[in-house]
């Protein structure tokens, strides 16, 4: 449960706050309702002190004002906003890992979809997510909330021109594979070279024609009759975990 405040994210509720303190998510401060003591209060203080997180006691009505629609239980934590990486940082990010995997989002405009894509990317071990700087969702509070910590785990890299960014990755040895419902090849019947960039299109029209032209391969996800398409975050998860499945199978 969370709500944005300025450029930060605030989360309320004992279990949600404990989860954040026990993770490696960057935290700015913990606020506790003044006058409360005992088990839960002491546990939060202990966890915060172990991480070096400052703790302040404030009036309950102040916490209510920050999170008016959240049952915060007298505890609110503020996270550091996830940072966007510069396009110039991308080569070094990818050079530092073996078998890198990148997710490219072609004008995904719904921050909830971006957040869900980031969450899937983190779970699949993606090393960077790239997206156009214009006409696409960025790391807003809404996207970070849906990402549930993934925005702090996976580098998010806005790029000036997606087609050029894909070309640069190809020049560095990446294979660019686009998800396209009109493609002729099934994702399950196509060799997926490495390293790979998966490209998923936006909510309205899918992959743009220019983006599709810069893909080395186009594949579709087979579906039962009557279903035409999947939500971009679902399609992204299917593609990423197909790569994970193949890599694990190859290592056995």
**pLDDT digits over 168-185, tens only?**
999 999 999 999 988 999
Topology agreement, domain 2-79 and domain 87-250: no
Q: Please give the backbone phi and psi of residue 61, each rounded to the nearest 5 degrees, phi first.
A: -65, -25
pTM of the model: 0.79
Query: In this structure, what token pair is assigned to residue 137?
Result: 């969702």
What is the fold of 2-79? 60s Ribosomal Protein L30; Chain: A; (3.30.1330)
Beta strand 101-106 with 156-159 is unpaired
Contact 12, 73 (CB under 8 A): yes
pLDDT the model gives residue 15: 86
pLDDT of residue 226: 63
5 band by pLDDT with thresholds 50, 70 and 90: very low
What are the boundaries of each domain within the chain?
2-79, 87-250
What pLDDT shows up at residue 45? 93
Query: Can you tell me the distance from the alpha carbon of 110 to that of 195, in angstroms, rounded to the nearest whole number?
Result: 28
Pairing of strands 128-132, 217-220: unpaired
What DSSP line would sit under 136-195, residue for residue? Answer: S--S-HHHHHHHTTGGGTS-EEEES-HHHHHHHHHHTTPEEEEE-TT-SEEGGGS---SS
Per-residue model confidence as pLDDT tens digits over 28-84: 999 999 877 778 889 999 999 999 999 999 999 999 998 887 788 999 999 887 788
Q: Kindly state the average pLDDT of the residues 9-28.
A: 84
CATH class of the domain whose range is 87-250: alpha beta
Question: What is the pLDDT confidence band of residue 233, given thresholds at 50, 70 and 90?
Answer: very high
Q: If we measure between CA atoms, which residue out of 218, 214, 221 comes closest to residue 178?
A: 218
Percentage with pLDDT > 70 across the chain: 96
| Per-residue pLDDT tens digits for 101-150 | 999 999 999 999 999 999 999 999 999 999 999 989 988 877 887 887 78
From the list 106, 112, 102, the residue with the least C-alpha distance to 173 is 102
């Amino acid at each position: 449960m969370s709500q944005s405040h300025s450029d930060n994210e605030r989360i309320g509720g004992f279990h949600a706050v404990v989860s954040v303190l026990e993770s490696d998510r960057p935290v700015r401060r913990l606020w506790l309702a003044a006058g409360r003591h005992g088990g839960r209060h002491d546990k939060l203080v202990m966890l915060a002190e172990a991480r070096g997180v400052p703790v302040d006691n404030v009036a309950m009505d102040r916490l209510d004002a920050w999170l008016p629609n959240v049952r915060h239980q007298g505890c609110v934590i503020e996270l550091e906003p996830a940072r966007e990486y510069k396009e110039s940082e991308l080569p070094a990010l990818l050079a530092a890992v073996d078998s890198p995997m990148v997710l490219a989002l072609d004008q995904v405009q719904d921050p909830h979809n971006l957040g869900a894509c980031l969450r899937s990317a983190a779970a699949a071990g993606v090393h960077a997510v790239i997206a156009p700087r214009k006409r696409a969702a960025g790391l807003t509070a809404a996207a970070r909330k849906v990402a549930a910590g993934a925005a702090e785990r996976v580098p998010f890299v806005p790029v000036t021109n997606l087609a050029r960014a894909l070309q640069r990755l190809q020049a560095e040895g990446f294979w660019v594979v686009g998800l396209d419902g009109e493609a002729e090849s099934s994702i399950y019947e196509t060799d997926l070279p490495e390293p790979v960039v998966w490209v998923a299109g936006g909510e309205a029209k899918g992959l743009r024609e220019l983006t599709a032209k810069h893909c080395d391969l186009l594949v579709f996800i087979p579906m039962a009759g009557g279903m035409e398409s999947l939500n971009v975050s679902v399609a992204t998860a299917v593609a990423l975990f197909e790569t994970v499945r193949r890599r694990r199978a190859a290592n056995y």
